[in-house]
Structures are given as C-alpha cells and as structure tokens.
Structure 1
Amino acid sequence: MTEPTERTDAERTATERTDAERADAELYDAELYHAELADAELADAELADAGLADAGLADAELADAGLADAGLADAERVGLSVVIPAYNEEARLGPTLDAVTRYLADNESRFGCWEVIVSDDGSTDGTREVAALAHPRVRLVTADRNRGKGNALRLGVAATAGARVLVTDADLAAPIEELERLDKALSEGNAAAIGSRAVPGAEIADHQHPLRELLGRAGNLLIRATAVPGLRDTQCGFKLFDGDLAREAFAASRLDGWGIDVEVLQRLHRADHPIAEVPVRWSHQPGSKVGPLDYPRVLGDLVLLRLRRLRPADLLVTALFLVLSVALYAHRFFDPGHRYLIDSIQDQNQWEWFFAVTADNLAHLRNPLFSDLQNFPDGVNLMANTVMLGMSVPFAPLTLLAGPAVSLSVCMALGLAATAVAWYWLIVKRVVRHRGAAFVGAALAAFAPPMVSHANAHPNFVILFMIPLLVDRALRLATGARVRRDGIVLGVLTAYQVFLGEEPLLLAALGMALFAVAYAAVRPDVAKAALRPLGMGLLVAGAVCLPLVAFPLYWQFTGPQSYHSVLHGDNAGNSPLSLLAFAERSLLFGDAARANELSLNPTEQNAFYGWPLVLLAFAIAVRLWERPLVKALAFTSLAAAVLSLGPKIRIPLTDTVYPGPWALVRKFPLFESVIEGRVAMICAPALGVLLAVFLEKVLSTQRIGTLYAGLLAVALALLPIVPAPLKATPREPVPAFITSGAWKSYVGRGESLVPLPLPDPGAAEALHWQTAADLGFTMPGGYFNGPYGADRIGIYGAVPRYTSDMLRDVRYTGKVPVIGRNWRAQAKQDFAYWKAGVLVVAPQPNDDKLRQAVTALTGKPGKWTGGVWVWDLHEGS
C-alpha cells in the first residue's frame, strides 16, 4: 500500500523516477486517472452524437448562428456567457430573456461583453421562435430531438465563449440580479459558485407543496451523502462557473438528464476545484419539470455512469471471482436445502438459524438483538453472537422467501466474490496498474487457505469486502486533503463492519497498525506528515461511529445473556509447521489427517500457506528490499505469523517452549476472546499485495528469461494452494414429527419442545428442525455463546444442568446410570425449568439407551410417532 505523502515523489519527472519509486509512490488515483482518460478519449465522439457538430462550432457555422452579427467574432472579448436550457418553454422563455438581457445590458461595465445562449432540447412548441425573435445577442443552439436537460446544457455550454459561464433555468426561479453574489464568490478564487436555498442567508419567497418539499430534501440529502459531500443544494438551477472549467466539465459529462448538475459538481469536487455555495433569493415557479422520483433517478444515473467507466478487464475480473466463488461452493450451492458442508461441523446449522431468527424478528417487529427460541427460557444475546446483522438484515427478504439455507448460501458466495473484487479495486487503485497482477494478488487475499477453511461456515471471516474500503479510507486520511469528510466516511464504514464482524475488524486494525509501524520506521518523514491528519481523522471517525454502535454494543456487553470473554484454552495458536504445510482443501497436496493434526478443526486451518509461497515471499522481499512498501509488507506478514503462534511457541520436533509475543496482549479487552491462530489471516492480503508488486515488475521486463522465470516461480508457489471445492454431503432429513406440524399438539403456549440430549455445539441438528418449522417452537440448549457462573465467563452452549449432562453422557458412552428417586426429582426440576411440553429422542447413536434413561426419568415409555420417540409431559400430570 502506498501512503499519501509520497505524492512528492510523484511530482518528479518520468525520467527521474525509478521503477521502485513508481510502484511505491501514490502518484495517481487509478480510478480517477482511468475515468479522466476515458473521458478525454470519448468526449469528441459523444459530443458529436449529442448534436454538437450540428450545433456548429466551426468559424463559418458560428457566423451562421449569428455570432458574427452580434459583434462577438473575437471570442476573447466575451466576459460572460449565459446558458438557458429549454424544452417546450414557449410561455416562460420570453419574459426570462427580456429580464436577463435587460440586466446584462445595464451592467455591461461590470460583466463585460456578454452573450445569451438558448439551448433547445427538441421542443415541439414555439420555444425556438421565441428565442429567434429575442435580443440580437441571444443565440439559439438546437438538438435534433429531446434527450434531457443534461444534453441541452452540454450543447449550450460547448457553444459559449465567455470567461465565465452562468447556467440558469428558463423559469428564472432565482432572479438574474442574484448573479452579483455569485460573481463576487467567483472573484474570490472559486471555480464555481452555486446558488443555494439551503445555506444561511437564503430567502425563499414562495414554497412548494410541503410533501413535495420534504421529498425533495430527502432526495437531495441522499445525493449529497453519496455524490457531493459538503454541498447542501446541488439542484438549484443557478450556477456560475469559470468558463474554461465549465466547458471542460460539461464536455466530459455523460448524463442526459438533470443529474448532470451533480455529475459536473462531482467532477470539480474530485479535482479539488473550490466550489462556493452562495445564498440566493428563490421562489417556486409553477410548471416545474422536476418530480420527487427524479432524485432516485439521479442516483441511478450516477451508478450507471460509474459502471460505464469500468474497463472490460475489470468486468472480466469480477466475473472470474464470482465463478471461483460459486465453484468453491459447487457441491452445495445449487441445492443448499439438501446439502450440508460437512467440515463446518455444526456451524452451518448455527448460521442458518442466525439468518432465520433475524428475518423472523424483523418480520414480527421484535428486538433483533435478542431471542429465546433457543436456550429457552434464558434466551440468546444475538449481538454477543456473530449474527452478522449487516448481512442477515438485508438478506431477510430472501430468507423469508426461500429459507435460511438458500439465503446463507447466496450470501456467502456473493460475499466471497465481493471481497475479492474489493481487494482487486484497492490493489489497482493504490499499488499496481497491471490488471493481471492485481487479479492474482486479490485472488490470494480472498481465496488463501485460511479463507477457504473459514468458507465452510464462518461468513464473518469470508465476507470481508469492507476491510479494503477501510484501508483505502485510512490512506486517504493520511494525505490530509479532506480530513473531516474522510473521517466521517471511515466512521460510517467502521460502524457497518461492526455489524459484519467485530473480530475481523479487530484483526484488520491490528494488521493496519503493524503496517503503519513498519512504514513509519522506513519512512519517518511520511509518518510525521501523516500523523496529524490521520489522528484528527480517526477522532472524527470515532465521533461518527460510536453513536451508531453505542446501543448495540451496550446490549452486547451488558444486556441479557451477555458475557465477559470467551476462553479458548492455551493451545489456540498455530504450530510453526502449519505456516509451511498445505491445507486439507488444497487441490494438489491436501492431507486431511496432517492438516487437522496441525489445527483446531477443519474450519480453523488458519495458516497453511505452503512452503513454496513462503519461499517466494522471502525471495521477493530480498529482491525488492529497497522499496519501503515491500519492507512494510514483509514485516506485517512476519509479525502476524509470529503473533498467530500464540502465547507459547513450541519448537517443532522438540519439547522446547518459548513465550510468544501474543502473551503481551492476550489479556487485553477484546484480545482475550480472539482465537490467536486467526491472526495469520492478516498474512493473506499482505502476501497478495506483495505478489502483485512482484508480478507487475516481472511483466514489465523486456528480458524473456526473467519473464518466464518470474511467472514460473509464481505458478509453482500458487498451484499447490489452489483450493478444491468444499465437501458437502446429503443433509440428514428433518423428522416428519417436525415437518408435518405434529409437534403443535404437544407444545402449549409458553412451553418448549425438548430434543434429548439438548442441542449443543457438538450436535445442533435440532436448530435445523426449528428453522424447518419456521421457528414455531422454542427449545432449551443450543449452539451459541452465553454466560457461565458468577463471573459470566463466555462458554459455547447453555449452562449445564444435571439432566442434560447425564443424557449427553449416555449418548456418547452408551452407559445408563442407576436412576432412582433423586435423578427423577432432578429431572422434574429441569423439565419444569425448561417449561417442557414434550421430550423428543430422534434416531442417533445409542438411542436405545437414551430411551431407557428417559423412560426411567419420566416413569412412562415413549411413543413412536413421525420418526421420533416422544414423551408427552401433559399425560398424567
């Protein structure tokens, strides 16, 4: 990644800049560069298409248009050009032209020689005749057909010759006399001055209908937030521009509708041209052609405009990432309701329940931060569990329509592809221009072995598209250009990431901190220049983020069923060997036995980058060590790898144990709940960027031998870690007792259905029963994080009770204890605590022993119905 203050290097001439400096310096905003290049290449063609050629810009055509007759053949003498777009304005145009020409004629000493251009957008009434009969200095340009205000303005501004260009609507809602205020603002060094109805000092003589005004303000607020931050009124049709900048900006515009106002201001804003917002007098005029629905249309136009600027290579990369994501989930993606990711253990059941309960809470207007559907009657603090409200809420309609299995499957596939695209965007924008190099780097960042491992059923560690956006915004802050705006955006993005996953956010912050420390060490001048704006921006971001997340975090840490931390034991770090080994899902070298020996389980294979990639990364660091970026990336990767080894590092093949650096932070708040092996996931994007830098260097060489050797080295490093599709097996069917609704006759109001043994992190199929029954019943137990004991330490699953523990032991051991009066009394208490209406034992290992134990506890035999054994606790009560 580059840092903003390296723009001083970018100011050197191309002949002075070395290849190393070219890669490290932030000498371009790739997105803006490509957009402006495309604009320059397409401007002539699109203007011709828009009818500009027909409007006539050649000298002879200018004479035909009346410019010579108006005495304006010498374009340099024109001080002010007024452009009035018109479509079927026969009734209003005449009085407007009279007012404008009279005012300009009376103030020629101030504004100099002037011209008025009426740009007719294919009117079908007498608009053209009105313009033709007006003042001699009024010229008419026409479009061949009606295309919109944007097309009319583009034609009109292109025909101007003034040092300044005023754009005003045909209704003259802002009186022409207000030009003096705008002219004064332009004289103070601004590139544009826009008449505003929303800043102090503005006067509104005649308001619109209150509902129309409210909708207009809401639409304008949305436009301001997404397109031109900082400007309060983008749509007032009274704007004064520097003439050259206006002709350049309008010529490069693409929108034909009235969204061109936003597009032109956005261009000036992005190019850092100052824009003044000037209060004006304004009155609503009847016959407005702008409706409330036009505001969302403008946003849609801007989105489409953005998409049109994408290169074909970018679209191809997006499609490839989507194909790769679907291929990874191929064994489940096309039939998610009947296929189960076996390596997810019980996590797929848990996550489908999270999506289902979120949608159910929203549909019934219940608190989305809590549910008692599992762990009844105590319930589950959903904010203290990784329900990913940032995804489960927007996917709620799909969940309600197609079910949580489909919703989760689509969400994870799209989320993984979006994450890869986001890394690609960041690498192209900040690091390399070569699309192929960026694609390879982003593919490693998103599809590295740790990510594939978590792709089994940890969407919070797969859907990481916000992380590259956070990195980019932090880099913007370091430039000091727009600290307040970038700080606000960073705060909003951070708040959203909180609802996607707090642990990934913590790890991302740790990774960025490691990179920042390393870069500051090699470029202290850059660090010193960036420190103040970065610090101020982070304060702004915190001030924006905290109010947005304050209540959810308060609920998470102090609400019902909250807990203090989750203990993972002393062995949650990676083995040093796991950094060099291959993951289970490695297509060529996957070894499930070896991978599971070096990891907690198949979903926590958090390293496994393979020795060829580690060796290549070392070689790249040595070869390109002179680059500050490479040094920082190498340090970040190495530091994250070492931290991931945990608080105690065991030297392989020995009994020697050394304290690891993670011991320094393991007891800090938040860090105490992190599975330290996951810190190695930071290496994925760091290695991806490092690989992109190397590939661009290789692909730019003129030496065939070097090119082949470099590409071969990359291929040999990446091929061993190419992932195979995730394993999926046919899903265990839900018993007919549940799917048929037979359970309803056994469970009364306020009662629960009790699967035995209780569902827990090791066996949570009952959560699938619950989602299959549309969450119609509650049940005790479950798979979640909740509190235990007076210290409220976080544990997985419900607080153990005697009966639940005993029945779980029976399931796993097949041994039934002697059940007498004490056990029956305890079971009665536990059943009452769970408010049990019916006990259910499904076919499972040692189910005969379970039936024996439950019969002894209840004093009556179970009934076989709907594929399960049931004990109705209402009978004989």
Structure 2
Amino acid sequence: MSDDAAVPAAGPSAAEPPGAPVALSVVIPAYNEERRLGPTLDAVAAYLDENEARFGAWEVVVADDGSTDGTGALVTARHDRRIRLVAADRNRGKGHALRLGVLATRGRRVLVTDADLATPIEELDRLDEAIGEGEAAAIGSRAVPGASIGSHQHRVRELLGRAGNLLIRRVAVPGIRDTQCGFKLFDGDSARSAFAASRLNGWGIDVEVLQHFHRAGRPVAEVPVRWSHRSGSKVGPLDYGRVLAELARLKARSARPADLLAGAAFLLMAVALYSGRFFDPAHRYLPDSMQDQNQWEWFFAVAADSVAHLHNPLFTDLQGFPDGVNLMANTVMLGLSAPFAPVTLAFGPAVALSLCMTLGLAATAATWYWLIVRRVVRHRGAAFTGAALAAFAPPMVSHANAHPNFVILFVIPLIIDRVLRLGEGVRVRRDGIVLGLLTAYQVFLGEEPLLLASLGLVLFAAAYALVRRDVAKAAWRPLLRGLLIGAAVCLPLVAYPLYWQFAGAQSYGSVLHGDNAGNSPLALLAFAERSLFAGDAQRAGALSLNPTEQNAFYGWPLLLLALGIVVRLWEHALVKALAVTVAGAAVLSLGQKIRLPLTDRVYPGPWALLARLPLFESVIEGRVAMICAPALGMLLALALARLAKSRSPGTSYTGLLAVALALLPLVPAPLKAVDRVPVPEFIAAGMWKPYVHDGETLVPVPVPDPGAAEALHWQTVAHLGFKLPGGYFNGPWGPDRIGIYGASPRNTSDLLRDVRYTGVVPAIDGDRRAQARQDFAYWHAGVLVLAPQPNDGALRTAVTRLVGRPGKWTGGVWVWDLHERSLPARTEQTLAAPTTLP
C-alpha cells in the first residue's frame, strides 16, 4: 500500500459524492484527539455558520492519522454532512495526515488548523484579509508585531522551541519567522498542488510546503494572531530537530543529479591535481612549493597544538626564538587549521594539509558553480565549465603548489552572492548579518584573497552601475545599509585578532616586494608551466617570480575567445561588467611600471595609485590577475548557455570547437611530487632530547630561513618538542619594523647562510667566535645540528671553528653539544687555520 493510502470513513459522509466546490475547506489533522476534537468541531462549525455571508459554503475535513481511540467514530457520528473524515490505515505522522486532508478538499481556500485550536478560529478573519490582498497563503504567526500569546509553555520548553524554530528559519524558509504555527490559510489550488508535491510525513511538512510556495514565486503573508498554549500538545522541543533532519533528507533526495555529478567531478579533479602527494602525503613533497609545504605543515601543527593545549593561537615562540612569530600576521588560516586540529593530531600535519587543500579546492569549485547557477546561467554544463575555469585556472594551479589561502576560496562566492542580495533590498538586515559573519570567517582564511575579491567587486559594481543606472539607483541605499550592518557584525569578531596582527608582539608594518612584482603583458598571453598540453617551464619561469606565482598565463586562445564572447554578447549589461572586470584586473596586475614587450619603454601603471595605500602595500600586484579567473569563467558559461539554445548545428559546432581549443591548452598536469628527504634519526628517534634542556633551542646548521626550512619538518615530526631560532615566517626588521621573510638576521646566521650557498669558509677569528657565543646565548642554544646537505663539509668546518671543537656524528647528523666545555685556546687557534675537513 502506498504512503498515501487511506481507509474511507464509515457513515453518511463517507458515501457522499465529492459534490460541488465550496468556498472554504478546513483541514484538521488528528491523532488520538477524542477528548479535544469535539469542542473544536463545535467551535469551528458555529463560527462558520455565523459568518457564512463572509466565508460562504464550507466543509471540515478531519484527517485521522491512524488513531487508536474514538477520534474517527466521533466524527462519523455527527449529523453534519459538511464535516467529513479521511483516515489513514495506520499512524504515519502529521505530514501524512495533512496531505490526505488537503487533497480531499474542494474549497477555493483551505484553512489548516490544529485540533487544539491554540489559535482561535476567529483569527481566520485576519488571514482572510491577507489572502484578499493578493497573497497565495497567509500563515498565523506568534513572532511578528501585533501577535499575542495568552498562556506560555514551560520556560525551558519555550526556549528550546525558539532555538529550533530559529534554525529552521535560517536553514529552510528565509524571511518567515514562525513556520510551525498550525494555523494557515491557502489558496485552494495552490495548497493542493503544494501538498501533492510534498514528501515528508512528519512535522517538517509545514516548512516543505512553504518552501514550495517560495520556489513557485507565490507570495506568503505572515499575519499576527492570538495564540495560547494548550495542555496535551504533541509537539515536543526535540521535534524541531526532527524537522531539520527531515528537511536535510528531503534536500539530499531532491538534489539534481547534475549538481551531484558536478561536485564529484570537482573532487576527482582536485585529487588528480594532487595525486603525486595525496596518497602518501607524509613521504611526498611538492618541489615547486620550495619551502612552503614545510611552512604550511608547521602552521597546521602549531594551530593544532594551540587547540590541544589552549595556547594563544595568535603567537608562538616555537620558531624565531626567542622573539617568536605573530601567527595572525602569517596567514595560518585558523578558520581551517583550528577545526582540522583533530585530524592533525591524529594523522599528522602532512595529512591534514593535503586533505584540506584537496577538499578546499573542490569546495571552491563547487561554490563557484553554485554562484554561476544562481546568478549567471541555469544550464548545468555551462556552469560546470565556468566554475572549473574559476577554480582550476593556471594561476590557481600555480598557487595550489604552496598557498592554501589562495586555493581554498569557497567563502568568496558566498560573499559575492550576499553582496548581490543586499542590492536587491529584500532582506537587508539578515543579509547584512550573514555577510558580516562570512567576512569574519574569511579573515581567518585569508585577508589578501578577501582584499582582491573586494577589488574585483568594486570593478564589477562600477561597470554595472554605469550601464544599468536604474539598478544602481535602486540598489545603493540597501547595499550601503547592508554593508554597514555587515561591518557592525564583522568588526567585533575580528577586532582583537586584527589588533594583534598589526600591533601585537612581532607585528610589522608591511612586506615590500619592490616595484617589479607585476605581470608582464606577455604573461597574460603565455601558457603556465603546469599546462598539460602547452606548458613551457623555461618560458613561464622567465615571466614569473617563481613557480608558485604564475599569476596570469591564461593563454592567448582563451583571451581571444573571451573577446569574441564580449563582442557577440555586448548588449548584455552583465557581459559588459564582466569584461570591464577582466580588463581592469589584468591592467592592474601589470604593476606600478608597465614595460612594453620587446621594447625599453616603461610607463606608469595604475597600480601605482594603490601601491602605497594601507593593506595594498603588502599585496604582490601580479596576483590581481587572479580576479580574471572567475570573471572569465562566467563569460564562458554565458557563451555555452547561449550555444545550448542555438538551433543551428553549424553555430553550435563552431562555438564548442572554439571553447575546446581555448581550454585544452589550460588543462593542468598533476603537480610535481618527489620523495621527501628523510628526517635524520637523531630527530625522528628522539635522540635530541638529552641535548635540549628546558628553555633551550635546537639550532640547525645553517639556521633555518625561507630558503632552507627543512628544520620545520623536523620540528613537526618531533611533535613540536623543541624550539628553533630563525625560521620561515614574516616578521619585523629594524627600527621601522619593516616586514621581512624570516627572523632578523644575526652575524652567525648570515655567516652560515653564506657558507651554505658558496661553500667558502671565511677566516674565523676571536671576534667571530665571540659573536657566535653571543648569538648562541641569544638563541638559548643547547645543541647545534648539521644534517647531510650541499656544502656540508664547509659548514662542518665553519661550525667547528666557531665552537672550538669538532662535532660528534650520531643519529645521521653532526652534533655540537654546547653544554660541553670549549677546547683549550691553542686548539682553537689551530682550528682557525684555513684547512679543509673531509
């Protein structure tokens, strides 16, 4: 028997033919309501009789949900043919009963009310007035101005109910404050359509039906009513949680297969990109990340350690000892590294980082897909292609080597959508609050991507406002109001972390990148190193700062295609705005000085207007070209959607061929991965512990810096058991606190760094040894450790001369225990001679 099976009721009403339509149908769901139903039917019938001139002919349909008491008999025993019974074969839930009852109605309007009449039938008058004003439904509400509550539930029950209702409103029915009040009046045909389409058998059917009206564009009014709590209510506080669970299951069942397929495809694409590391992250390394993989794994390890031990997540002295590191000023992505702490603690930071970057990239593509479907085109194939370009464009693939903050951008499309909603002016306060929360979260994912996204939105909004001044005129007030609300929500959440970032320990002013960090115009036309079919590592390297900063490289075929799309669809305001966004971002990305290719001519670039502004002064201007990726993706989606509607096979074939030729050169190859350098046994086996006392550091040789940060991996393998001087982070330098990469240099760290790169050991005299002793004391050094590496013989010689005695080979490394006494002075003088050790 199907879910909608019903047992016909006995008695006169059961045999009565459907008859002519009536003006009003009242549906009362009932389960074991023998005690309360009789007075309710009497009150409803008396009121409708008295007001027949107002409401017309009426009927009451009692939907018995498989009662085991005398509910059904009470209805069939009445001698009023206008009161009918439909009965389910067994108890299935309020939703099932309502579906049976509404589908049995004949009224031009349908009122749904509970058997306890917690809302008096006299309130029908208010709902009827709202329907008369053109609404498709009017729902009684206890939460809007003008409503009154006669008697309250128990305080705890009421608080739980409010919390549940708040969740339901936020998750399922935007704009409706009271979804669960059981007093609702519908247009009859609309009600029968909505309930016929419903699938839920429980309390969630109220929300499901309202969602149906919302999606169909049928207006719903929320009308204040009188309400009083009735004893014997069958709605418990936990039922709100069940409603959410029902809606979640319904949403999962109703998801479009194309959307699910798109999400799965994005995940497979992300796994394929990271395949060299994904399946064995602890022992594989992305060499194009240079030292960034070590740095980011350390970030995840430190964040997890802060969570586990309740340390300050904004600062640590595990690196850069004794000064420490301002973590908030180093993009540790606390928005993900902190929630991923259980994964990091259980499986290690390499696994956590790999999983986070892979899932984050897929999620970013999915949210771009969602935004394009919602705002640009409905065609799923077109949206998928556009989102794939937005998330897997060459600049994104380049940053996928090393920069999670530029890969995990799934919040950015949500922020863009919320800003666009503000311009619509429908629910400004709610959208402003959500925008503030999203923005605050993005601050803890990455401030620079947020700044670039804001810049892209400004370019888009300015262009759209010029071509659609009517829209801009209507949108600017609610947009401004919503932005102010968003700022009021966001700023308190981020105020202290931002204070710490800019004024806390080890904060700095800005990181200066010089005036040559912009893109070459040729970079916009060329192909990136990791392009599967057209990549040229030598050419890409000559046009970029390094493999992680190939911020353009869209290729001339794609830019030529984009130009063709813009020309063909120029009449559309959206196309014009997207075109200006692409062009504006591309020009800004050329930097403060633009050198014309193949000439010596240099012209000032528009970025010079922003380069000295706060926040912008630390941006690598070449990254501005990343704004082009989603804008190009949207242009591509618009073109593909237009081709899908074309009735000309020749046009469709030519257009799809052009798209294929533009995108194929950009298909990324999997990122390069190599076997990781093994961690020395001295570190991995814990042999370092006797050498490092409380308050002391382990000093790798040379001192770790952005060019050689393998010691950060040692530290994470040792579960952060020791502290390090130096390191790879951003910190202050000099009296002006200029931001630099790594710790403030010291004489000994500079000396060892020079030996590492040159292999030349300088003359080491008493002054240098005295300086080394000062530096060791400053670092609280307990032991010096030299692992096998290029020029390790020269480094060993230099350290031996600085310390005054040879090191000891143990656990795969050379070790100098600084707790031992120095050798006699004459031995030190002998060691100072320019000899070469094996």
TM-score (normalised: structure 1): 0.87
1: distance between equivalents of 2:697 and 2:230?
63
**Deviation of the 1:876 alpha carbon:** 4.3
Identify the match of residue 61 of structure 2 among 117, 134, 140.
Answer: 117
Match of 1:477 among 422, 430, 438: 422
Contact 2:119–2:225 (Cα < 8 Å) also in 1: no
Letter in 2 for 1:115: E
Structure 2 counterparts to residues 299-338 of structure 1, below 5 A: 299-338=244-283
- Alpha-carbon shift at residue 780 of structure 1 (Å): 1.9
Distance in structure 1 (CA, Å) of the matches to 2:538 and 2:388? 26
* Residues 716-740 of structure 1 deviation map (CA, whole Å, 9 limit, x = unaligned): 1111111111000011111222222
Residue 65 of structure 1 is matched in structure 2 by: 14
Matched with 1:128 is 72
CA contact (8 A) 1:182 1:195 kept: no
Give, in angstroms, the shift of residue 188 of structure 1.
6.9
CA deviation vs aligned residue, 1:158-206 (integer Å, no higher than 9, x gap) = 2233454443334444555665665666667763132426867633635
CA shift digits 1:329-351 (9 cap, x unpaired)? 11111111111111111111111
Q: 1:94 to 1:873 in 2, by over 3 A?
A: farther
Q: Is the 8 A contact 1:199 1:232 kept in 2?
A: no
Q: Kindly report which structure 2 residues correspond to 1:793-872, keeping only aligned pairs within 5 A, or say none.
A: 793-872=738-817
The 10-residue stretch of structure 1 (844-853 or 724-733) with the greater mean CA deviation from structure 2: 844-853
Point out where structure 2 has 5 or more consecutive residues left out of the alignment. Answer: 823-838
Larger CA deviation: 825-834 vs 656-665: 825-834
1:356 aligns to what SS in structure 2?
A: helix
How far has the Cα of 1:699 moved from its partner? 3.2
Secondary structure in 2 aligned to 1:694? helix
1:455 aligns with 2:400: yes
**Closer, same or farther: CA 164–353 of 1 in aligned 2, 3 Å:** same
**Residue 632 of structure 2 is aligned to residue 683 of structure 1:** no
- Any conservation in 1 of the 2:11–2:77 contact (CA below 8 Å)? no
Partner of 1:193: 139
The alpha carbon displacement at 1:671 in A equals 0.9
- Asked if 2 retains the 8 angstrom alpha-carbon contact of 1:56 and 1:62, the reply is no
Give 2:517's aligned residue: 572
The structure 1 residue matched to 2:474, chosen from 496, 516, 529, is: 529
Once the two structures are TM-superposed, the CA of residue 857 in structure 1 deviates from its matched residue by: 2.7
Query: Is the contact between residue 141 and residue 177 of structure 2 (CA under 8 Å) also seen in structure 1?
Result: no
Q: Relative to structure 1, is the Cα distance of residues 819 and 289 closer, same or farther in structure 2, using a 3 angstrom cutoff?
A: same
2:735 aligns to what?
790
- The answer to which of 383-392 and 855-864 deviates more is 855-864
- List per-residue Cα deviations over 1:248-275 (Å, max 9, x = no partner): 4333333222122222334445636243
SS at match of 2:92: coil
Q: Tell me, yes or no, if the aligned pair for 1:186 and 1:193 is still in contact at 8 Å.
A: no
| Offset at residue 314 of structure 1 (A) | 2.0
- What corresponds to 1:626 in structure 2? 571
2 CA distance for matches of 1:821 and 1:465? 57
Q: Following TM superposition, by how much is the alpha carbon of 1:432 offset from its aligned partner in structure 2, in angstroms?
A: 2.4
Per-residue CA deviations over 1:188-238 (Å, capped at 9, x if unaligned) read: 77631324268676336353362x444333322222232334444333334
Determine the C-alpha separation between the residues in 2 that align with 1:392 and 1:189: 51
Gaps of 5+ in 1: 1-47
1:500 pairs with 2:439: no
CA spacing shift, 1:392–1:876, aligned 2, 3 Å: same
User: Aligned pair in 2 of structure 1 residues 365, 260: CA closer, same or farther (>3 Å)?
Assistant: farther
Task: Give the letter for the 2:105 counterpart.
Answer: T
Measured in 1, the distance between the counterparts of 2:496 and 2:115 equals 50
Partner of 2:827: none
Match of 2:28 in 1: 84
Query: TM-score when scaled to structure 2?
Result: 0.91
> Is 1:593–2:546 an aligned residue pair?
no
The within-5 A match list for 1:155-304 is 155-174=100-119, 176=121, 191-196=137-142, 202-203=148-149, 205-208=151-154, 210=156, 212-269=157-214, 271=217, 273-278=219-224, 280-283=226-229, 285-286=231-232, 288-292=234-238, 294-304=239-249
Query: Would the alpha carbon gap of residues 716 and 269 (structure 1) be closer, same or farther in structure 2, given more than 3 Å must change?
Result: closer
1:64-117 deviation line (CA, Å, top 9, x unaligned): 53666xxx9432343xx3322233444554554455555655665665544332
Alpha-carbon distance in structure 1 between the residues aligned to 2:471 and 2:163: 41
Q: In 2, Cα distance between the equivalents of 1:403 and 1:843?
A: 25
2:297 paired residue among 339, 352, 375: 352
Report if the CA contact (8 A) 1:86-1:120 is conserved: yes
Deviations 1:687-716 (CA, angstroms, capped at 9, x unpaired)? 112122222233332333322222221111
Deviates more, 1:265-274 or 1:866-875: 265-274
CA distance in 2, matches of 1:594, 1:187: 71
Q: Does structure 2 retain, via aligned residues, the 8 Å contact 1:197–1:281?
A: no
C-alpha distance in 1, partners of 2:16/2:720?
76
* C-alpha distance in structure 2 between counterparts of 1:129 and 1:757, whole Å: 91
Question: Offset at 1:364?
Answer: 1.8
Taking a change above 3 Å as real, the CA distance of residues 515 and 82 of structure 1, as seen in their structure-2 partners, is: same
Once residues 198 and 559 of structure 1 are traced to their aligned partners in structure 2, the CA distance between those partners, rounded to angstroms, is 46
Change (3 A) 1:621 1:873: same
| Aligned pairs for 1:507-526 within 5 A | 507-526=452-471
Q: How does 1:424-435 map to 2 (within 5 A)?
A: 424-435=369-380
Change (3 A) 1:360 1:99: farther
Instruction: Work out which of the residue numbers 648, 653, 656 in structure 2 matches 1:703.
Output: 648
Amino acid at match of 2:570: W
Work out whether 1:51 is the aligned partner of 2:7: no
Q: Alpha carbon RMSD of aligned pairs, Å?
A: 2.8
The amino acid that maps onto 1:84 is I
SS at structure 1 position matched to 2:445: coil
Task: State the percentage of identical aligned residues.
Answer: 71
| Deviates further, 238-247 or 477-486 | 238-247
In 2: Cα distance, 1:534 partner to 1:556 partner: 29
Quick one: structure 1 residues 169 and 201, their matched pair in 2 at CA, closer, same or farther if it must change by over 3 Å?
Answer: closer
Could you say if the C-alpha distance between residues 611 and 198 of structure 1 is closer, same or farther in structure 2, counting changes exceeding 3 Å?
closer
The separation in 2 between residues aligned to 1:308 and 1:727, in whole angstroms, is 39
**Residues 1:468 and 2:413 are matched in the alignment:** yes
Which deviations, in whole Å up to 9, do the C-alpha atoms of 1:594-648 show, x marking residues without a partner? 1111100000001111122122222222333333332222222122111111100
Q: How many residues align?
A: 819
- What one-letter code is carried by the residue in structure 1 that aligns with 2:4? G
CA positional deviation for 1:431 = 2.2
> Aligned-pair distance for 1:649?
0.7
Residue by residue over 1:292-335, the C-alpha shift from the partner in whole angstroms, topping out at 9 and shown as x without a partner, is: 2x333322332333333332222222222211111111111111
Structure 1 residues 133 and 714, CA gap change in structure 2 (3 angstroms): same
Cα distance in structure 1, aligned partners of 2:185 and 2:492 = 39
CA contact (8 A) 1:313 1:435 kept: yes
- Alpha carbons 2:23, 2:109 under 8 Å: kept: no
Query: 1: CA distance between counterparts of 2:572 and 2:669?
Result: 35
Specify whether residues 517 and 594 from structure 1 end up closer, same or farther in structure 2 by C-alpha distance, changes over 3 A only: same
Paired residue type of 1:285: S
